Amino acid sequence: MDKNAKIYIAGHRGLVGSAILKSLQAKGYTNFVLKTHQELDLTNQADVANFFEKEKPEYVILAAAKVGGIIANNTYRAQFIYENMMIQNNVIHQSYINGVKKLVFLGSTCIYPKEAPQPMSEDALLTSPLEYTNEPYAIAKIAGIKMCESYNLQYGTNYIAIMPTNLYGPNDNFNLETSHVLPAMLRKIHLGKCLEQDDWNTILKDLSLRPIEGISDKSAKEEILAILAKYGIKRDANNIIEIELWGTGKPMREFLWSEDMADATVFIMETVNFLDLTNVIKGNEIRNTHVNVGTGVEVSIADVANLIKKLVGFSGNLCFNTDKPDGTMRKLTDVSKLNSLGWKHTVNVTEGLTTMYMWYNEYIRE
């Protein structure tokens, strides 16, 4: 890639997109096309077509998506499948129409079956049923994989689909209504510590930046306590602060630092082509050319919660609500394909969480 090549990053303000932009800038790339959701609605076919015709980007990184945790995925099922498929269809097709040299599409390891053998290899795709709670999102991402693969096979394009494991880092989504497990736990435990210390200045600052269901720093204390309790941040019968977390705490999860993910994305954009991923062919069939991106290391939700508790300095109780769903019990990725291509992660979960909490506190203080 030429350092002056025109690069469009869809979703540049999000967790992954912002890290990818930072990584590319650090490597000396200078020519970016960046549009916010307000400036360009990627679900609008005509607007996306006009954008590509006008801007003619040479490279595209598709990191824009509608994402969320178990609650959001299971509640907004229609929105998750519709919006994600519209975004993918519009961006991938217009990349083809306008002669984009290379595209990297970001999916998720939730594409794999609920009972997939562990660790999950790329060949596990479409071998058995998906986890129900995020099935619409997973189906949309599978469609994106197959769209990239199909355009490559029919039109000779160079579109790479990469499937990151659970991501976390600066600019994560800390909205308790829609966030993934790790940022949700970090914010809940942080607010629990503030409540424990009767630190209302920090609580109000937090809510001014990230209101919960419309409850902000302008709300009455009783309203704030009620909304915190609704999301599992409350005092128990002994006047000890208790944080309620969903499920048993037993599920194992793999977490990848967002800046590691960005580095992997840039590595793939610079060095990996579709033809590099078609070396295993069964008869005349070319399948599963996507690439897992992860650490290959897993940790239980309970262990992560206790790690955050220690890091934050919270001395109250963590309570797992076993009436709530766990989701898939294990989601460990097989990263041997990516490792064989020459990339490996560098940040472990303890290091990443420490940096993430420092960032969160600095963000609140700004």
| Dihedrals phi, psi of 249, to nearest 5 degrees | 85, -5
Domain count for the chain = 1
Write the Ramachandran bin of 288: left for phi over 0, alpha for psi from -120 to 50, otherwise beta.
Answer: left
CATH assignment of the domain containing 31: 3.40.50.720
Q: Tens digit of pLDDT per residue, the chain (366 long)?
A: 899 999 999 999 999 999 999 999 999 999 999 999 999 999 999 999 999 999 999 999 999 999 877 778 888 899 999 999 999 999 999 999 999 999 999 999 999 999 999 999 999 999 999 999 889 999 999 999 999 999 999 999 999 999 999 999 988 889 998 888 899 999 999 999 999 999 999 999 999 999 999 999 999 999 999 999 999 999 988 889 999 999 999 999 999 999 999 999 999 999 999 999 986 555 678 999 999 999 999 999 999 999 999 999 999 999 999 998 887 788 899 999 999 999 999 999 999 999 999 999 887 665
Residues known to be catalytic: 137
Spacing of C-alpha 121 from chain mean position: 19
Task: Kindly state whether residue 317 falls inside one of the protein's structural domains.
Answer: no
Q: What is the pTM of this model?
A: 0.89
Task: Kindly state whether residue 231 falls inside one of the protein's structural domains.
Answer: no
At residue 23, the 3 state secondary structure works out as helix
Task: Kindly state whether residue 105 falls inside one of the protein's structural domains.
Answer: yes
Task: Kindly state whether residue 218 falls inside one of the protein's structural domains.
Answer: no
Task: Kindly state whether residue 323 falls inside one of the protein's structural domains.
Answer: no
Task: Kindly state whether residue 209 falls inside one of the protein's structural domains.
Answer: no
Whole domain around residue 87: which residue ranges?
7-171+254-298+331-348
